[in-house]
């Protein structure tokens, strides 16, 4: 039975999923909370919930969608995250964790999301499945344009920074960084640098922002990056996907 919440039981363990919302715009991030519960009368050793113990897949809703078009997806995670740890889940106790996805809304339509938890055991792997949940993607206006790997496009990041700075026609530049927590951020400068200024010193009139490429929001204001910052550690991202470019939208010309 489809809905925005589901669960399944297996050998005392119950896995459930709950979507924050099940009607989304193209390019909108999807938040799914996963809960693993021990319904048995004894403690069970389980792997903690992370992107290495949980496996997610989605497919178009309808006849043949699952067998012909299933795609496995990975949620957003920190590059600094410790994975693989086990805990003793006590009787009738549970643990939950939200997971954010940025590649589940790249196309319009009705879809099904599935998840299972995998636990190593002596004779192989034990899998606890959650019942699938349905969601839909619709709307003429795109929530955000994203690259093939689900990150916010450079042009959208610059647009958000210009809106925050109230400088819609100012020149802007952006580079992608990994922050201190192991997540990616767009670092966007808005405004012109004086021609006489040294390369290491941004203009005092310039504004700068960190843009969250997952949720497509202005994270916070920043110190402007310099030419030296750009030389020291930027990397090119994939060009905007054709799928994202095809998203009809009216607010991002």
Residue-level pLDDT at 198: 55
Residue-level pLDDT at 62: 82
Q: Do 11 and 131 share a structural domain? A: yes
Closest to 85 measured CA to CA, from 123, 46, 116, 120: 46
Q: Do 99 and 22 share a structural domain? A: yes
- Residue 89 is part of which domain span? 5-137
- What is the torsion angle, in degrees rounded to the nearest 10, for the CA atoms of residue 153, residue 156, residue 160 and residue 143? -100
The two three-digit tokens of residue 16, written as one number: 């459930």
Sort strands 23-24 and 133-137 into parallel, antiparallel or unpaired: parallel
Query: Taking a C-beta distance cutoff of 8 angstroms, is the pair 208, 221 a contact?
Result: yes
Q: Do 18 and 114 share a structural domain? A: yes
Q: Do 13 and 90 share a structural domain? A: yes
Residue-level pLDDT at 125: 80
Strands (E), the chain: 5-10, 13-19, 23-24, 30-38, 44-47, 54-60, 71-73, 86-89, 94-101, 109-121, 124-129, 133-137, 172-178, 184-190, 207-212, 217-222
The two three-digit tokens of residue 23, written as one number: 């009607």
Helix (H, G, I), strand (E, B) or coil at 63: coil
The two counts, helices (H) then strands (E), for the chain are 4, 16
Q: Do 171 and 103 share a structural domain? A: no
Q: Do 167 and 108 share a structural domain? A: no
Distance CA 191, CA 168 (A): 10
* CATH (domain of 54): 2.60.40.1930
Q: Do 221 and 165 share a structural domain? A: yes
Distance CA 132, CA 2 (A): 7
Residue-level pLDDT at 246: 41
User: Block means of pLDDT (10 residues each) for the chain, length 253 residues?
Assistant: 44 92 97 96 93 95 74 94 91 96 96 93 84 95 93 96 94 91 94 55 76 96 87 50 38 32
Q: Do 172 and 124 share a structural domain? A: no
């Amino acid at each position: 039975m489809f809905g925005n919440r589901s669960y399944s039981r297996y050998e005392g363990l119950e896995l459930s999923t709950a979507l924050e919302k099940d009607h989304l715009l193209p390019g909108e991030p999807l938040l799914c909370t996963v809960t693993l519960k021990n319904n048995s009368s004894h403690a069970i050793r389980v792997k903690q919930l992370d992107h290495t113990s949980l496996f997610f897949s989605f497919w178009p809703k309808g006849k043949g969608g699952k067998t012909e078009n299933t795609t496995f997806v990975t949620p957003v995670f920190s590059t600094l995250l410790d994975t693989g740890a086990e805990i003793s889940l006590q009787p009738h106790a549970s643990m939950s964790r939200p997971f954010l996805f940025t590649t589940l809304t790249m196309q319009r339509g009705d879809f099904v999301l599935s998840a299972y938890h995998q636990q190593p055991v002596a004779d192989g792997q034990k899998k606890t499945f959650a019942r699938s949940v349905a969601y839909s993607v619709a709307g003429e206006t795109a929530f955000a344009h994203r690259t093939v790997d689900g990150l916010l496009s450079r042009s959208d990041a610059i647009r958000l920074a210009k809106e925050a700075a109230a400088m819609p026609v100012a020149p802007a530049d952006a580079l992608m960084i990994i922050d201190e927590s192991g997540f990616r951020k767009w670092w966007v400068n808005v405004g012109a640098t004086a021609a006489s200024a040294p390369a290491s010193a941004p203009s005092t009139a310039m504004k700068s922002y960190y843009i969250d490429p997952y949720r497509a929001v202005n994270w916070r204001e920043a110190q402007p990056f310099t030419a030296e910052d750009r030389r020291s550690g930027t990397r090119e991202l994939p060009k905007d996907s054709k799928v994202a470019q095809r998203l009809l939208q009216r607010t991002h010309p």
